[in-house]
Chains A and B, each alone.
Chain A
Amino acid sequence: MPEVTYLEALRQGLWEEMERDERVFILGEDVGAYGGAFKVTEGFQSRFGAGRVIDTPISEAAIVGAAAGAAHMGMRPVCEMQFIDFISCAYDMLTNYVATARYRANLATPIVVRGPSGGYVRGGPFHSQNPEAAFLHTPGLKIVCPATARDAKGLIKSAIRDDDPVLYFEHKYLYRRIKEDLPAGEEILTPIGQARIAREGKHLSVITWSAMVFKALDAAERLAREDGLEVEVLDLRSLLPMDDEAIAATVKKTNRVLIAHEDTRTGGVAGEITARINELAFEWLDAPVRRVCAHDVPLPYAPTLEDFVLPQVDDLVAACRWLARY
């Protein structure tokens, strides 16, 4: 079976959907002749033409707004944000226009907005962000954050086929670091809204997503080796809608929960998950729900600073040990 990187899996998913459905098209900055800043769309313009792989001005609001207009008319646009940090420039368009369109106006807006998110790459404050919390609060949007190559492919395909707007936050740290065997010719469609158990365990649970899944798996491995702790890792994959059933199930199984995310803590998604656990399974808890997140600062550039601010495997190990002892 061919070994496929996370980035290649995403590419394959986009390519297959472009081949399958002529309503699918791509628009974004430098996505055409250049193939995108990270080469996600390399070769697309020569295969599908400049009419379906559109180089736009540096205008995120126009990219998302035009995608919305075309989507109302029956198209299936995929917008690339060159770095996901720039999605904030389209915040109004996404939250006020796109997210409300079905509800207020009965207008379907099946668009995908995707782009490289995440830190650990020395990108500094504006090329490292994880914007999911900024959009989790907006009814009408869906949010997916693949961690594996299989889900990178399966979620982009499901996102394109979804009848609602989907924000697809890929992690640039994973682009070329993750490789998996993906059978050629297999139709991979990861359902939106379903979490995945990345590692089974019975002593405590780490609920996480995106690149943090691998840090959690590393921590679980170490805890198994050094402490004999069996840590369950739940990869949420979708944040909106969120898989409450899977969250409740892991809480009821292990009774101790750590929520880990790469974004900053205050107002972060971990707070929402904590509240849900409180509502869904309070009486099953043997310890307070705890969080491991980035510190509440803009993400700094210097490796010493970035490594300090972001959660590391050691942080997860320490937090899990605290929970296990509680």
Chain B
Amino acid sequence: MAFRATVGAIGYTPRMSATAPPPAQSQAVISGLTRAQLHELYYWMRLTRSLEERLVNLYRQTKVIGGLFRSLGQEADAVGSAYALDRSKGDILSPLIRNLGSMLVQGATPLEVLRQYMAKAQSPTAGRELNIHFNDLTRGFIGQISHLGDMVPVMAGVALHFKMTKQPRVGLVYVGDGAMSTGAFHEGINFAAVQRLPLVVVSENNGYAYSTPMRVQTAVKSLADRAVAYGIPGVTADGNDVLEVYQVTRTAVDRARAGEGVTLIELMTYRRKGHAEHDNQSYVPPGEIEAWERNDPIDRYVRRLTESGWATVDELGALNARIEKELDAAIALCENEPLPDPDTALTDVYQDFPIEPHWYRGLDA
């Protein structure tokens, strides 16, 4: 009975049964979150990790066409922060490459992500773009481009639209310790700050930008210190504690929605895999990864849930089983789908006319 209510909540079908919700499910137990919501947080983190594990298998089978980017050990920062948004109000986020979890929370499906990585014709971008670079304004996510920092001005523009049209909606944009060195980041956050736009800037401090450690990236000790330069609040939180991430982001989201402007949040976490799957992490000092393995955000959250009595081992096991079943189904559905037809490559550059094939196409070779 309790499990069924949880499933309903996770699927973004009605959060509660209209008739007789179990009392334990409807009461906030911590951070204003109900038991069912705490289970949702677990579900999204575990789904993120399991989906990436499936992608690793597909990558090794050469079914993933390009690179594979992991967020192992960073699931809490993506999921906890995105969960602080309100989808029913139309909030929009823009992820970076290690924020798969945030997109899942906003309603992106594993099937879409799998199709993207495998460049399928039916992928959200019809095979035109890679990995999690896709978007849906209705569900509330705008895919990044590879040029770090660029999404900060873009999301400032989305938030500007919210402000101009007096809608109580909030934008959230992710950057990392590397992206914060770009000019676009500075221009975007400064513009958003001076305009008091409803924007939350989440900086994932995961220690590395590709191979470059934070101490080579910037002279500041804390990325949140940068907030002073923009006249906005800056906070640092434990990025591997999903509840802390949720709480600190929720405060910033509420501030933004109340018209109080931008907040910069630094989430301390760690990138346990290389920049992409090919990267052997030769630059990482011995013992560092192992130390962070002991600070795994999912393990920590499982302990918290079970020790506090917010979830039973059986409940979590049922969620795990459900995730694996969902992923099995998604992979079975799309694994053998075709790639896009070549002649679809020339449309949608412009709204009003297609690009013509070159003159020598159609000649005898």
Interface residues of A (CB under 8 A from B): 25, 51-52, 54, 56-57, 59-75, 77, 92-93, 96-97, 100, 102-108, 139-140, 142, 162-164, 241, 279
Contacts of A107 in B (CB 8 A): 135, 137, 142
Residues on A with beta carbons closer than 8 Å to the beta carbon of B158: 69-70, 72-73
A66-B156, A72-B137, A93-B150 are contacts. A61–B145 as well, Cβ < 8 Å? no
Question: What separation, in Å, do the CA atoms of A106 and B351 have in the docked complex?
Answer: 10
A139 CA to B125 CA, complexed, in Å: 18
- Cβ of B325 within 8 Å of any chain A Cβ, yes or no, is no
In whole angstroms, how far apart are the Cα atoms of A142 and B359 in the complex? 23
Contact B351 A102 (CB under 8 A): yes
Question: How many interface contacts (CB-CB < 8 Å) are there between A and B?
Answer: 134
From 159 to 188 in chain B, residues with beta carbon under 8 angstroms from any chain A beta carbon are: 159-161, 164, 183-184, 187-188
Is B292 part of the binding interface, using a Cβ–Cβ cutoff of 8 Å? Answer: no
- Please encode chain B, from 128 to 165, with 1 for each CB lying within 8 Å of some chain A CB and 0 for all others: 11000111010000110111001011111111110010
Q: Encode B94-123 as 1/0 by CB contact (under 8 A) with A.
A: 000000000000000000000000000000
Separation in Å of the A25 CB from the closest CB of chain B? 7
Residues of A within 8 A of B133 (CB): 104-105
Expressed in whole angstroms, the Cα–Cα distance for A204 and B22 within the complex equals 87
Task: Answer whether A241 and B353 are a contact pair too, CB < 8 Å, given A68-B154, A70-B158, A75-B164.
Answer: yes
Given A57-B191, A66-B157, A69-B158, A100:B145 Cβ within 8 A: yes
A65 neighbours in B (Cβ, 8 Å): 150, 152-154, 156-157, 184, 187-188
Taking the closest CB of chain A, its distance from the CB of B62, in whole angstroms, is 24
For the complex, give the distance between the alpha carbons of A57 and B157 in Å.
14
**11 intermolecular pairs with C-beta atoms under 8 Å apart:** A65-B184, A66-B156, A74-B161, A97-B147, A103-B128, A103-B349, A105-B135, A105-B142, A106-B348, A164-B350, A241-B353
**Would A62 and B348 count as touching, CB distance under 8 A?**
no
Contact flag A70-B157 (CB < 8 Å), given A100-B145, A106-B348: yes
Question: Which listed residue, A64, A93, A106, A279, touches B125 by the CB 8 Å rule?
Answer: A106
The reply on B352 being an interface residue by CB < 8 A is yes
7 new A-B contacts, CB < 8 A, other than A65-B150, A164-B350, are A59-B153, A59-B188, A66-B191, A73-B161, A92-B150, A102-B350, A142-B350
B321, CB-defined interface residue at 8 Å? no
CB-nearest residue of chain B to A66: B157
Write the nearest CB–CB distance from A245 to chain B, whole angstroms: 13
**A69, A108, A279 — most chain B CB neighbours (10 Å):** A69
Of all chain A residues, which has the CB nearest B130?
A: A104
Contact of A62 among B129, B143, B188, B353 (CB under 8 A): B188
A25 touches B153 (CB 8 A): no
A57 to B186: give the CA distance in the assembly, Å: 11
Please report the C-alpha to C-alpha distance between residue A103 and residue B347 in the assembled complex, in whole angstroms: 8
| B194 at interface by CB-CB < 8 Å | yes
Which residues from chain A contact B195 at a C-beta distance below 8 Å? 54
Query: For the complex, what is the distance from the CA of A142 to the CA of B38, rounded to whole Å?
Result: 49
- Cβ of B240 within 8 Å of any chain A Cβ, yes or no, is no
A216 to chain B, nearest CB (A): 29
- Among A69, A77, A241, point to the contact of B154 (Cβ < 8 A): A69
